[in-house]
Amino acid sequence: MSEMLQTVPIELTVNGRRRALNVAVHHTLLDVLRDDLELTGTKECCLVGECGACTVSLDGRIVDSCLVLAVEADRAQVTTVEGLAVDGHVSPLQQAFLDKGAVQCGFCIPGQLVAAHALLAERPHPTVPEIQEGLAGNLCRCACYQQIISAVLATAEGTAR
Amino acid sequence: MHTFAYARPATLAEAVALLEAHGPAARLLAGGTDLVIRLRDGTARPAVVIDVKQIAELRPAIREENGRLVISAGTVMTDVASDDRVRRSFPALAEAAAVVGSVQIRNRATLVGNVCNASPAADTAPPLLVSGATVVAEGPGGTRRIPVDGFFVRSGVTTLARGELVTAIELPLPARKLGAVHMRRTRRRGHDLASVTLCCAVDEAGVTRLAYGSVGPRPILMIDESGVLADPAGSDEAKAPIFERMFADASPSPRSMRASPEYRLAMLRVLGARALRTAIDRLARG
């Protein structure tokens, strides 16, 4: 496909569900998730890849969805915060965020959760510096960093070594 | 975001033809971590965005070939930082790739994109300069190999010609034992651009290579073959004048908001001395 396009048909799998839609080439994955697919858990915030509020998993790796054009997600597997629940219940990680008081205003939490979920998938028992590095791309204006780290540690402790 | 036409060529030849046809009105898209920001804020207003990720030759790959490590244009920082061959033969490059942006950025940003943006603060530039890396460009005239030291001009400007795109970076596998390290200074830990970014390598023949960025319009490579800097027993007094010559070309911008020129020049000397000691230690430990 090297003809010039303004809109492109794409197919992607979002939280396990196949979706097919036409996207404008200048719309981001974030735009399409929120406005076309109505998955508003993923938040729009800085739009320059610094805050991490728009973090989603793309083919198993976390990315800032504000910096990915929707057309680049053609044929990809996407997981958003809405995809973290297990059988309709909050995941152990989400429960730990609630238990540790990691959620204040809540705006950054979808991104924090997706990033922390990816970190734990790669390192089931991370150290505190590893958590800090793994979540360095997710800012929290309520400054709940200690509670967020506690929640990730608690989730790891609840996982068999 | 203003609109543009999007092209996703499947072959290098198609990509080159598009670049040649549209010239400066076209922009290449790999990881998008710089381009998408610029498309949104209007500092880049291309008529055509050419997504190179479907081109077979550019797919993510790190391979060994004729005594060189070849890193394809689609290879992201996460994979550069974690690759065993990069970590073994070019540890400073692995260290630099590991501190670019955040996890989210490193999963998307490519090494080649970092080089092509030619930011003076690019963290991977100093280790590539120290390693004698070569940029492989494909264009209307065929393939061209450009030493990375001859590639950077100033922020956003390289010696690529119209119609050319970078397909890979090649690093000659070191023939001598060496110790190398990447260091940088940022305003805060975590996700930040460097106020000073620097790489130092010392080899067993006594040659010291020092490259630094974020202190002028382009990253700079300096080489000391006298053996004075590399001497583990050498005094600071003996090394100081050589260091001063190596830092003479640093000219930080007074307009940058990250750090003042005075601070950058002071930190350049601190990091330079610290990196030299670490490189000497690493060489001794093998």
Contact B7 A134 (CB under 8 A): no
- Specify the pLDDT at position B108: 98
Give percent of chain B above pLDDT 90.
93
**What is the per-residue pLDDT for B268?**
96
Confidence of residue B256 (pLDDT cuts 50, 70, 90): confident
Region of poorest pLDDT, from A1-5, A99-103, B118-122, B194-198: A1-5
Say whether B32 and A1 touch across the interface (CB within 8 A): no
Question: What are the tens digits of pLDDT across the range B188-239?
Answer: 777 788 899 999 999 999 999 999 999 999 999 999 999 999 999 999 999 9
Q: Does B51 touch chain A (CB under 8 A)?
A: yes
Q: Using a CB–CB cutoff of 8 Å, tell me whether A61 touches chain B.
A: yes
What residue spans define the domains of chain A? 7-81, 92-157
Nearest to A50 among B51, B53, B191 (CB): B191
A92-157 and A7-81 share a CATH fold? no
What is the maximal distance between C-alpha atoms in chain A? 53
Long-range CB pairs of B65-72, under 8 A, 24+ apart, other chains included = B67/B172, B67/B173, B68/B170, B68/B171, B68/B172, B68/B173, B69/B170, B69/B171, B69/B173, B70/B136, B70/B168, B70/B169, B70/B170, B70/B171, B71/B111, B71/B112, B71/B168, B71/B169, B71/B170, B71/B171, B72/B112, B72/B167, B72/B168
The length of chain A is 161
Whole-number pLDDT of residue A2: 55
CB of B38 within 8 Å of a chain A CB? The answer is no
pLDDT for B238? 95
DSSP string, B27-85: EEESS-TTHHHHHHHTS---SEEEE-TT-GGGSS-EEEETTEEEEETT-BHHHHHH-HH
Residues of B in contact with A71 (CB under 8 A): 6, 8, 51
CATH code of the region A7-81: 3.10.20.30
Fold of A92-157: DNA polymerase; domain 1 (1.10.150)
What percent of chain B lies above the pLDDT cut of 70? 100
Q: What is the pLDDT of residues B136-193, one digit of tens each?
A: 999 999 999 999 999 999 999 999 999 999 999 999 999 999 999 999 998 877 778 8
Q: pLDDT digits over B42-65, tens only?
A: 999 999 999 999 999 999 999 999
**Inter-chain touch A71–B9, beta carbons under 8 Å:** no
Q: Does the structure show a pLDDT above 60 at A113? A: yes
Q: Which domains does chain B have, with CATH numbers?
A: 5-51 (3.30.43.10), 57-172 (3.30.465.10), 178-285 (3.30.390.50)
Q: Which tens digit of pLDDT belongs to each residue from A77-104?
A: 999 999 999 899 999 999 999 999 999 9
Nearest-Cα distance to chain B for A16, in Å, is 21
B2: pLDDT confidence band, cut at 50, 70 and 90? confident
Average pLDDT, chain B: 96
Residue A1 above 50 pLDDT?
A: no
Report pTM: 0.96
Distance of CA A69 to CAs A23, A27, A54, A76, B30, Å?
Answer: 9, 6, 13, 12, 11
